Structure 1
Amino acid sequence: MLLTNQIILLTGGADGIGRKCAQAYAGAGAKVVIADLSDNKASEAANALGNEHLGLKCDVSQGDQVEAVIQRVLARYGRLDAIHNNAGIAGPSTALHETTDAQWDELLRVNLKSIYFTTRFGINALTESRGVILNTSSMAGVIGQAAHAAYAATKGAINALTKSMALDYAPLGIRVNAICPAGVWTPMLRQWAADQPDPASMAAYLDAIHPLGPCPEGDVVADAALFLLSEKARFITGHIMHLSGGAELGYRR
């Protein structure tokens, strides 16, 4: 029970990696507030965890909605111990010059500016609890990814932002880390695979890129996220954790 009675705000927690993290946090004793773009999905995911958890509709790219969610959290629970910035989008599958203005702006708002909003409106509560911030990034932000320039740019920015935040908030006792999955089977990844020129080959490709084995499910990410939010990671901050099965390592035969 590494997170007993901890209050955790988890964005994008209704499915995929977020849903697995919500289940792991609840199983470790936390009370989880799932903020998701879909009100129905957020409520369903929270209800599946139990009545002490909460599901709220939130477009994380809109500051007023993020502020309202944090106020709801504080009104119900009286504190906030951790924010896991997990919400994100991956499309479009294009090179930079093929990316539209609207696509570029949406990626920046959802993947990056959302972290600004949760931090801006949550920092006072996290200061009181000497809490934790965890950002879901991607190996694309570490090693790049063909035909995903804008997405990789947002994830690389998250990695740099995580380190700066860690320095800024260390004097407040707040730790800030990021997790970088490679391939993980989620609804988003399945949609990405379907959008590729040869969708039928994608499963074999995703299995092959991980030296430790086939493309995993989201529980591998949830286990690492749970550790980073817990006191077991109390002296870890500014860390960009690779959850890649070795996908980025070395020459291959």
Structure 2
Amino acid sequence: MLHDKIIVLTGGADGIGWECAKAYAKAGAVVCILDKSQIPISRLNELHTQQNIAITCNLTNEEEVATAMTTIIEKFGRIDAIHNNAGIAHPSKTLDQTSNQEWDLLMNVNVKSILYTTRYALAYLKESQGCILNTSSLTATIGQDNHAAYVATKGAINALTKAMALDYAPYKIRVNTVSPAAINTPTLQSWSKEQPNKEQMQHYLDKLQPLGNMPTGDVIADACVFLLSNAARFITGTILPVSGGAELGYRSII
């Protein structure tokens, strides 16, 4: 479904990002991972092709993002898609308890990084009539206690997706967002350990989604493959829940 596409994937070192990297490569794409963590060649080789690359990049640093995009263009000559997946969830706090530094870091990683990737790849996406995909969260539409700043960033991503979809539609560039609920990733496991009732948290997360226990990131990756593929060629400005029905209404969680 993604044969020969050059896909830039931020935050692809683990969790949902790594599952997407594997799915994109399996679907025929060349994956260019931008992540603050270095990915060993041995792990990159798990993608089963020689062309995929990983660039260690601080996505809150505009110069590093610009350099990374230049590197990708020099190597592959084009960009067909960007998946803005990088994100952090820390800290678990109400708004008044959130420090300036914590607020700024969340906004910079989760939202401002999208500004930078778009700024330095848009010209190439215009040439390829490519697409942009963002990773949001179900919390953006239903809220979450003790995560005000995080929820704010995900709400911003949803609104930004719709604005970008309108702005770039004249260039045949599609912009969509995938919205997970509870997905078993290193980030979520780290988050659950911060909670005061961490012993009950796993049970809660497994019961959150009517379709079954908390899944791994492959369920998100499958949806992302579709949204980046030609099968979704007339879909733009969409916030797609991949949530197992977590948002569908009141029910007993025992």
TM-score bucket of the superposed structures, by smaller chain: over 0.9
Match of 1:90 in 2: 89
1:67, 1:117 within 8 Å by CA — same for their partners in 2? yes
Question: Which AA in structure 2 matches 1:155?
Answer: K
Looking at structure 2, the residues matched to 42 and 244 of structure 1 have their Cα atoms a distance apart, in angstroms, of: 31
> Contact 1:135–1:179 at 8 Å: present in 2 too?
yes
Aligned to 2:18: 19
* 1:199 CA displacement: 1.1
1:186 paired residue number: 185
Question: Is 1:201–2:171 an aligned residue pair?
Answer: no
Which position in structure 1 is the counterpart of 2:221? 222
Distance 2:193 2:180 in 1: 19
Unpaired runs of 5+ residues, structure 2, are: none
Q: 1:47 maps to which residue? A: 45
Paired positions, count: 251
| CA distance 1:107–1:42, change in 2 (3 Å) | farther
Letter in 1 for 2:143: G
C-alpha distance in 2 between matches for 1:44 and 1:151: 33
The percentage of aligned residue pairs carrying the same residue is 54
Deviations 1:206-251 (A, max 9, x none): 0111011101100000000000000000000000000111111112
Flag the 1:155–1:45 CA change in 2: closer, same or farther, 3 A: farther
Contact (CA 8 Å) 1:9, 1:35: kept in 2 or not?
A: yes
Give 3-state SS (helix, strand or coil) of 2:179's partner. strand
Q: 1:33 aligns to what?
A: 32
In 2, the alpha carbon distance for the partners of 1:19 and 1:30 equals 14
In the TM superposition, 1:1-253 aligns within 5 A as 2-39=1-38, 41=39, 43-49=41-47, 50-253=49-252
**Can you give the 5+ residue segments of structure 1 that lack an aligned partner in the other structure?**
none
Distance 1:25 1:136 in 2: 15
Measured after TM superposition, the shift of residue 48 of structure 1 is: 2.2
CA-to-aligned-CA distance 1:148-168 (integer Å, 9 cap, x gap): 000000000000000000000
State how far apart, in whole Å, the 2-side matches of 1:10 and 1:90 are: 19
User: What's the TM-score, normalizing by structure 1?
Assistant: 0.97
TM superposition shift of 1:184: 0.1
Q: Are the structure 2 counterparts of residues 237 and 42 from structure 1 closer, same or farther at C-alpha, using a change threshold of 3 Å? A: farther
Please state whether the residue corresponding to 1:61 is helix, strand or coil: coil
Shift of 1:44: 4.8
Offset of residue 47 of structure 1: 2.8
Shift of 1:43: 4.5
Paired letter, 2:130: G
Give the drift of 1:142: 1.1
Specify the code of the residue in structure 2 equivalent to 1:223. D
Q: Which moved more, 1:10-19 or 1:50-59?
A: 50-59
- Provide the C-alpha distance between the structure 2 equivalents of 1:73 and 1:124, rounded to a whole number of angstroms: 13
- CA deviation map 1:112-144 (0-9, x unaligned): 000000000000000000001000000111111
Q: Is the 8 A contact 1:34 1:45 kept in 2?
A: no
The two structures have a TM-score, normalised by structure 2, of: 0.97
Whether the 8 Å contact between 1:11 and 1:86 is mirrored in structure 2 is: yes
